[in-house]
Amino acid sequence: MIVSMSPKSYSDGCLNSTSSVRTEFLVGNRMLRVLCASAGLRLGEALGIDIKNISSDCATVKITQKAWKSQVHDFLKTDNGRREIDLHSSVAAMLKEYIGERKSGLLFCSKTGKPLQQSNILRRSLHPTLAKINQPKCGSHAFRRFRLGAFGSAPNTLLP
């Protein structure tokens, strides 16, 4: 099942049609959560994804850097962190729609092109969403555990 990520088709009870900034925020955070859960990414890894490291069909993402406190670092938490991840076709389609015509820059960034802050994502997006569905607060590491729990060992390809 492919879920459209375009702002005009995104529906949320607290969203009105004149709120394009809010819509963009909701759609971007939705894509971020889907990508982290389906690929087993650390939040910093996802925030550090450069569009040039995504295949043209959006089926493969290279993890080569991370974002931490509004800075991009070219090192990862572990040596095995540098890898290529294959995405399910439905996630690839969502990602392709989310990227649109962009050819460069960070996949998830502020209006000024800087990386998003992890604490802001948790406070403004994840925790309110969990509260809305009566689930306890958790951190972004739950997305990593989702992939391991749902798929067993993560089928990643290590980069040289």
Q: Is residue 14 part of a domain?
A: yes
Q: Is residue 1 part of a domain?
A: no
String of DSSP letters for 80-124:
GG-EEEE--HHHHHHHHHHHTT--SSBSSB-TTSPBPPHHHHIII
Q: Regarding predicted confidence, which is higher, 4 or 139?
A: 139
For residue range 42-61, list pLDDT tens digits in order: 889 999 999 999 999 999 99
Q: Which percentage of the chain shows pLDDT scores above 90?
A: 33
Strands (E), the chain: 60-63, 66-68, 71-73, 83-86, 156-158
For residue range 125-135, list pLDDT tens digits in order: 777 887 888 88
Query: Taking the model in full, what pTM does it have?
Result: 0.71
CATH value at residue 89: 1.10.443.10
Q: Is residue 114 part of a domain?
A: yes
Residue 121 half-sphere exposure toward CB, CA atoms < 13 A: 27
Q: Is residue 2 part of a domain?
A: no
Per the listing, tokens 């859960």 go with 37
Mean pLDDT of 79-99: 92
Domain count, the chain: 1
Q: Which percentage of the chain shows pLDDT scores above 70?
A: 69
- 6-45: burial string, b at 16+ Cβ within 10 Å, e else: ebeeeeeeeeeeeeeeebebbbbbbbbbbbbbbbbbbbbb
Residue 156 confidence (pLDDT) above 60 = no
Residue 3 has what pLDDT? 38
Q: pLDDT band for 26, please (50, 70, 90 cuts).
A: low
Distance in angstroms (rounded) separating the CA atoms of residues 22 and 27: 9
Range of the domain at 39: 7-158
Q: Is residue 54 part of a domain?
A: yes
Residue 82 Cα distances to 56, 87, 155, angstroms: 20, 16, 13
Beta bridge partners of 73: 66
